[in-house]
């Protein structure tokens, strides 16, 4: 029986090539995007799950508010882990990872290689994370100073063989150069990990003022004995704050915990489950930018949308084609087929089609994967689809999709009355065209939502990149001067500044782009700090040329100048800081800062105010910022004259190599670094764009199929109308009108939904571009235009056909 | 008695009025009958065959098939009865275009859940008997009208039905092809198959053992068994 059905299905495919192609290709497009997204989502959800104790590992996060400034940190104080273990038996072990020292230069033969995936850690690393050791010993591996554990691939890179690496020394270029003994080699950490470092150096080599509960700089992980214990930690942290932080408040801020909190300040700690870090945590001092659960949702939703649109296409075309199958249904019924057998037959057909579409979807996936990896920033492989769990899912997919898409047409077809269809009645009940219309409306509404979403995302991206900039990011080259000996950096800067194509030069260790250094300090407006006059402010060490080189705008006062001898304690603040101080013109006012080891606070005089600019992502409001003169010479910024970039880069590189032989020359363009901050949004935009294009393509395929069908159905009517004198335009209007009405209805339904969804999306941004009417006008116009083209293409042929031919066949 | 109709009425409502398709109709058919139903277009011949073939409902009256009350059957029961006992031959042949001759003939057996080996044997017999073995892998579109109707008859007979219903079986055929089909019917009837055919042609009607005339849904003369 099934063979009989499959045969019929197969021969039907061949008979209606256009329909079959539209059906299978449309479904394949939907399935392909579904497969790609499910690869992406699986990858995103798998982060850190390779850890055996994943469900018991938590990171200690800190939330601090002082003087109206909020800080959400992924780090905590250095004694926190040990204290938790000591105070609470629920904590089995803890480890600190310190990655704030940035990249390291490591000797490889005569050269130094820059290694970015470096951190310092405690030996307990191996007790918490699943890090199989392939050579050496994990126990006490990092207890001694100047020890390091490295990944297998790093071991191969530097020593050729993991076994040979143990006991050898790595030479780094920290300051005057330090040697580290390799004590263990671990298996490479999977890419799907937020801790995928290649080198863990001994914690002992971190230069730090240890034991300070008030400084938060260490990513600290605890291993609980039981995951259920996590619920009790809010209280436990309260105990820690009472016991260890209250004394500090009294000592340095002359306040107790109660009044500290009463005045709107806070210090809070919390546990973040390890497996949530990648998608749910976006705090200061993350090791690397994580994913975003919102993106996972949006991607999944978009993929589902496209798949559903493709399924709807399938339903629509199958039902539309039903008249071709009606006679067969009639015959089968007179031959004794029961309705269930017919439903089964048509379901098998649609499952077969879905299976073919799936095969084609694999091909499409293979073609699209490099592109998709590019825009999603992943390295996914088609082979990932063939993992056991996934394979089962794939085998089931044609059945699920085939059944979903085929159920309605199957019941629709199986319900034909044999006598009527055998007599040649083609018309069936009135409900059926209405249902098809509803499907078309759904497809177009979904497509338009995706298009509107895309437009809003792109509009917002453009807005972000140009709004509230406050500095000039174009034509600035930023050179990493870390490889040049400290004493020679000034000379390097001056030599480059002397180039004719360089208009301005400045050291610029702190830059208003992502992944640049940050330094937060608390200031008070009075010599004695109380909980009400303190606020946290970014304080960046700069030099005399920093403001002009970056094109920042001074609103009040003056820039630093060598002419004023006292500028070492001068400070230039931004508008936000002035607002926090409650003054319009802050020039001349004083700011006080006192660190724990100081007797008296340092007194800064405000000499200028600059226009606000964003130094974090535009998702956040501009925070308070202060510039002062200071050491910041690990990076230098050069403003280059337009059109001279390449030559200038060569010149800079030549000078760099003179002063730093064997060191890698590394530079970035400020505008590119700036754009990096919006990589997520750009990816979102690109993905939304692709899905919107796919959705509209599939919807148009469906529309094309429907118009073809309707034109065929109405051939006779068209013929009669032409004989009666209808013009080409009349016929086109006749065939197009109904469909365009559907597109309009779809627009009316889709627009408010899209507006609402994008309105929600925009809430995440501190700076939002309004959703203009033009977005809807463009979308409506485009959808209408595309639909019209699709319809007209087919209607034209129907209208041009010679009426004699169509009438004679009757 | 193979089947019996008692006082059958069938109507449709058009603009508030009942239009009778079958009116006050009685019929008794014995096993082995070859009945020809004649009448002008619209007299209700096809409707009658559809009712007899259990493809269509009627509004009033009783229908007994082998003593079983068809009027009291549920849909499923009717479908089962139909596929076991009744074969159809149509004027327009109604073969499935996507299936070969062999597959078309085989289809009713699939619905009757006949085993694969038995199906092969039955279809082979039928092909042999109708002299179309050489055509078994052709598609309907590759056959002449007469050949298509031969396949149609073969398909109707493959399930060994008690009753063969033929609605203008030769309406689309030329006279030579018509004669062949009618001779085949006569042969089948002689072997014991009960046949009821609707026809416009006196010549064809004459092949039957008796003829009834239908006009506006009623017999023009009282039928005699």
The DSSP-derived string for A148-161 is EEEEHHHHHHHHSS
pLDDT value of position A468: 61
H runs (alpha helix) in chain B: 45-52, 75-85, 101-111, 116-129, 145-157, 175-190, 202-205
What is the domain partition of chain A in residue ranges?
Answer: 54-239+269-280, 476-676
CATH (domain of B150): 3.40.50.300
Q: Which residue of B has its CA nearest to A342?
A: B111
Which residue from A732, A740, A705, A686 is spatially nearest to A444, judged by alpha carbons? A740
Q: Of A1, A328, A422, which is closest to B96 when you measure between CB atoms?
A: A328
Q: Are strands B34-38 and B17-29 parallel, antiparallel or unpaired?
A: unpaired
Q: Can you tell me the distance from the alpha carbon of A435 to that of A134, in angstroms, rounded to the nearest whole number?
A: 63
A406: left (phi over 0), alpha (psi -120 to 50) or beta: alpha
pLDDT value of position A431: 47
User: Do B94 and A327 count as a contact with CB atoms less than 8 A apart?
Assistant: yes
Query: Cα B53 from chain centroid?
Result: 7
Which residues have a Cβ under 8 Å from the Cβ of A661 and sit 6 or more positions away?
Answer: none
Length of chain A: 810
**Does B76 map to a domain?**
no
Which residues have a Cβ under 8 Å from the Cβ of B187 and sit 6 or more positions away?
Answer: none
**Does B160 map to a domain?**
yes
Q: Can you tell me the distance from the alpha carbon of A129 to that of A54, in angstroms, rounded to the nearest whole number?
A: 8
- Which residues, listed in sequence order, are joined to residue B213 by a DSSP beta bridge? B38
Interface pTM (ipTM) of the complex? 0.76
Q: What angle (nearest 5°) sits at the alpha carbon of residue A237, between those of residues A233 and A242?
A: 150
Residue A701 C-alpha, separation from nearest chain B C-alpha, in angstroms: 26
Which residue from A795, A777, A782 is spatially nearest to A699, judged by alpha carbons? A782
**Does B202 map to a domain?**
yes
Tell whether B99 is within 8 A of chain A (Cβ).
yes
Split into its structural domains, chain B has a count of 1
| CB burial string B168-191: b at 16+ within 10 A, e below | bbbbbbeeebbbebbebbeebbee
**Does B188 map to a domain?**
yes
Q: Can you tell me the distance from the alpha carbon of A398 to that of A808, in angstroms, rounded to the nearest whole number?
A: 43
Which residues have a Cβ under 8 Å from the Cβ of A785 and sit 6 or more positions away?
Answer: none
Tell whether B82 is within 8 A of chain A (Cβ).
yes
Q: Are strands A534-542 and A520-524 parallel, antiparallel or unpaired?
A: antiparallel
Q: Can you tell me the distance from the alpha carbon of A300 to that of A311, in angstroms, rounded to the nearest whole number?
A: 16
Burial class of residue A672, CB neighbours in 10 A (0-12, 13-18, 19+): exposed
When comparing pLDDT for B110 and B183, which is higher? Answer: B183
Q: Rounded mean pLDDT of chain B? A: 89
Residue B68 C-alpha, separation from nearest chain A C-alpha, in angstroms: 18
When comparing pLDDT for B222 and A208, which is higher? Answer: A208
Tell whether A12 is within 8 A of chain B (Cβ).
yes
pLDDT value of position A615: 80
Q: Can you tell me the distance from the alpha carbon of A475 to that of A645, in angstroms, rounded to the nearest whole number?
A: 8
Query: What's the pLDDT tens digit per position in A568-584?
Result: 889 999 998 998 888 88
Torsion on CA atoms A670, A673, A674, A675, rounded to nearest 10:
130
When comparing pLDDT for A683 and B60, which is higher? Answer: B60
Tell whether A330 is within 8 A of chain B (Cβ).
yes
Best B50, B78, B87, B94 residue to mutate vs chain A (most A CBs within 10 Å): B94
User: Do B111 and A331 count as a contact with CB atoms less than 8 A apart?
Assistant: no
Residue B141 C-alpha, separation from nearest chain A C-alpha, in angstroms: 13
User: Do A336 and B50 count as a contact with CB atoms less than 8 A apart?
Assistant: no
- Which residues constitute the domain of residue B149? 33-57+81-211
Q: Can you tell me the distance from the alpha carbon of A779 to that of A128, in angstroms, rounded to the nearest whole number?
A: 52
pLDDT value of position A597: 64
User: Residue B55 pLDDT > 90, yes or no?
Assistant: no
Tell whether A7 is within 8 A of chain B (Cβ).
yes
Burial class of residue A665, CB neighbours in 10 A (0-12, 13-18, 19+): middle
- Which residues, listed in sequence order, are joined to residue A105 by a DSSP beta bridge? A114
Q: Can you tell me the distance from the alpha carbon of A261 to that of B206, in angstroms, rounded to the nearest whole number?
A: 110
Q: Can you tell me the distance from the alpha carbon of A62 to that of A348, in angstroms, rounded to the nearest whole number?
A: 57
Query: In chain A, what residues touch B108 (CB-CB under 8 Å)?
Result: 335-336
Burial class of residue A257, CB neighbours in 10 A (0-12, 13-18, 19+): middle
Tell whether A16 is within 8 A of chain B (Cβ).
no
For residue B7, name the pLDDT band (cuts at 50, 70, 90): very high
Number of alpha carbons in the 13 Å side-chain half-sphere of residue A546: 26
Against a cut of 0.95, is the pTM above it? no
User: Do B98 and A334 count as a contact with CB atoms less than 8 A apart?
Assistant: no
H runs (alpha helix) in A467-544: 489-497
For chain A, residues with pLDDT lower than 50 are 427-431, 808-810
Q: Which residue of A has its CA nearest to B75?
A: A338
Tell whether B162 is within 8 A of chain A (Cβ).
no
**Does B142 map to a domain?**
yes
Q: Can you tell me the distance from the alpha carbon of B203 to that of B174, in angstroms, rounded to the nearest whole number?
A: 13
| CB burial string B201-215: b at 16+ within 10 A, e below | beebbebbeebbbbe
- Which residues, listed in sequence order, are joined to residue B13 by a DSSP beta bridge? B18
């Amino acid at each position: 029986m099934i063979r009989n059905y499959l045969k019929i299905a197969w021969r039907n495919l061949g008979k209606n090539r256009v329909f079959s192609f539209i059906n299978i290709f449309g479904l394949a497009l939907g399935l392909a995007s579904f497969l790609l997204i499910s690869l992406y989502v699986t990858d995103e959800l798998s982060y850190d799950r390779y850890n055996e104790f994943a469900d018991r590992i938590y990171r200690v996060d800190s939330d601090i508010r002082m003087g109206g400034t909020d800080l959400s940190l992924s780090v905590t104080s250095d004694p926190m882990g040990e204290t938790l273990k000591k105070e609470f038996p629920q904590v089995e072990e803890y480890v600190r990872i310190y990655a704030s020292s940035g990249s390291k230069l490591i000797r490889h033969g005569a050269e130094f290689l820059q290694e970015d995936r470096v951190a310092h850690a405690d030996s307990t690393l191996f007790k918490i994370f699943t890090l199989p050791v392939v050579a050496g010993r994990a126990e006490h591996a990092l207890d001694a100073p100047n020890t390091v554990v490295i990944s297998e691939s790093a071991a191969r890179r530097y020593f050729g063989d993991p076994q040979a690496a143990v006991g050898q020394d790595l030479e780094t270029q920290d300051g005057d150069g330090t040697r580290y003994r390799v004590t263990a080699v671990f298996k490479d950490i999977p890419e799907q990990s937020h801790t995928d470092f290649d080198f863990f150096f001994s914690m002992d080599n971190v230069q730090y003022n240890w034991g300070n509960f008030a400084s938060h700089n260490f990513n600290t992980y605890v291993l609980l004995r039981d995951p259920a214990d996590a619920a009790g930690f809010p209280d436990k942290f309260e105990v820690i704050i009472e016991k260890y932080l209250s004394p500090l408040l009294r000592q340095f801020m002359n306040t107790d915990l109660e009044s500290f909190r009463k005045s709107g300040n806070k210090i809070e700690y919390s546990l973040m489950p390890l497996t949530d870090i990648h998608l749910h945590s976006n705090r200061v001092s993350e090791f690397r930018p994580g994913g975003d659960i919102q993106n996972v949702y949006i991607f999944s939703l978009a993929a589902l949308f496209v798949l559903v649109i493709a399924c709807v296409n399938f339903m629509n075309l199958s039902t539309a084609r039903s008249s071709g199958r009606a006679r067969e249904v009639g015959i089968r019924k007179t031959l004794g087929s029961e309705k269930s057998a017919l439903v089964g037959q048509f379901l098998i057909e649609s499952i077969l089609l879905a299976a073919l579409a799936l095969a084609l979807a694999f091909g499409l996936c293979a073609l699209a994967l490099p592109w998709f990896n590019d825009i999603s920033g992943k390295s996914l492989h088609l082979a990932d689809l063939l993992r056991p769990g996934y394979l089962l899912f794939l085998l089931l997919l044609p059945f699920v999709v085939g059944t979903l898409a085929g159920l309605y047409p199957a019941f629709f077809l199986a319900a034909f009355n044999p006598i009527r269809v055998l007599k040649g009645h083609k018309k069936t009940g009135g409900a059926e065209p209405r249902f098809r219309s509803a499907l078309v409306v759904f497809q177009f509404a979904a497509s338009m939502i995706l298009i509107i979403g895309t437009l809003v995302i792109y509009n917002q991206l453009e807005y972000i990149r140009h709004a509230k900039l406050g500095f000039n990011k174009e034509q600035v080259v930023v050179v990493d001067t870390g490889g040049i000996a400290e004493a020679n950096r000034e000379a390097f800067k001056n030599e480059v500044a002397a180039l004719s194509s360089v208009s301005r030069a400045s050291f610029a260790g702190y830059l208003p782009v992502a992944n640049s250094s940050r330094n937060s300090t608390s200031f008070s407006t009075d010599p004695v700090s109380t909980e009400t006059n303190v606020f946290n402010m970014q304080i960046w060490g700069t030099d005399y040329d920093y403001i002009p080189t970056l094109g920042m705008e001074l609103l009040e006062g003056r820039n630093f100048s060598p002419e004023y001898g006292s500028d070492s304690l001068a400070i230039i603040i931004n508008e936000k800081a002035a607002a926090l101080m409650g003054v319009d013109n802050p020039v001349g006012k004083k700011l006080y800062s006192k660190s724990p080891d100081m007797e008296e606070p340092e007194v800064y005089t405000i000499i200028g105010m600059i226009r606000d600019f964003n130094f974090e992502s535009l998702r956040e409001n501009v925070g308070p910022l202060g510039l002062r003169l200071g050491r910041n010479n690990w990076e230098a910024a050069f403003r280059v004259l337009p059109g001279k970039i390449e030559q200038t880069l060569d010149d800079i590189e030549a000078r760099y190599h003179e002063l730093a032989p064997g060191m890698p020359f590394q530079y970035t363009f400020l505008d590119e670094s700036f754009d990096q901050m919006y990589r997520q949004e750009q990816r979102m935009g690109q993905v939304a764009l692709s899905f919107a294009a796919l959705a509209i393509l599939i919807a148009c395929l469906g529309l094309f199929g429907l118009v073809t069908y309707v034109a065929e159905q109405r051939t006779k009517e068209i013929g009669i109308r032409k004989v009666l004198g209808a013009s080409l335009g009349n016929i086109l209007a006749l065939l197009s009108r109904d469909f365009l009405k559907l597109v309009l209805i779809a627009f009316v339904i889709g627009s408010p939904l899209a507006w609402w969804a994008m309105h929600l999306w925009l809430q995440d941004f501190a700076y939002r571009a309004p959703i203009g009417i033009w977005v809807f006008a463009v979308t409506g116009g485009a959808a209408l235009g595309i639909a019209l083209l699709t319809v007209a293409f087919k209607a034209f042929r129907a209208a041009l056909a010679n009426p004699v031919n169509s009438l004679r066949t009757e | 008695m193979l089947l019996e109709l008692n006082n059958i009425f069938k109507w449709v409502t058009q603009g508030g009025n009942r239009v009778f398709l079958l009116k006050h109709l009685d019929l008794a058919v014995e096993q082995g009958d070859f009945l020809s139903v004649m009448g002008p277009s619209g007299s209700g011949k096809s409707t009658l065959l559809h009712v007899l073939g259990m493809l269509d409902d009627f509004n009033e009256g009783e229908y007994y098939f082998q003593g079983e009350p068809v009027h009291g059957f549920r849909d499923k029961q009717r479908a089962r009865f139909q596929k076991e006992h009744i074969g159809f031959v149509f004027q327009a042949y109604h073969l499935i275009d996507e299936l070969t001759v062999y597959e078309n003939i085989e289809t009713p057996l699939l619905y009757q859940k006949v085993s694969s080996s038995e199906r092969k044997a039955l279809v082979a017999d039928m092909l042999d008997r109708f002299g179309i073995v050489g055509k078994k892998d052709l598609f309907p579109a590759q056959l002449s009208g007469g050949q298509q109707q031969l396949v149609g008859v073969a398909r109707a007979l493959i399930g060994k039905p008690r009753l063969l219903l033929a609605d203008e079986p030769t309406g689309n055929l030329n006279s030579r092809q018509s004669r062949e089909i009618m001779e085949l019917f006569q042969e089948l009837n002689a072997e014991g198959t009960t046949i009821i055919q609707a026809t416009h042609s006196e010549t064809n009607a004459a092949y039957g053992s008796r003829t009834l005339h239908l006009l506006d849904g009623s017999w023009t003369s009282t039928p005699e068994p």
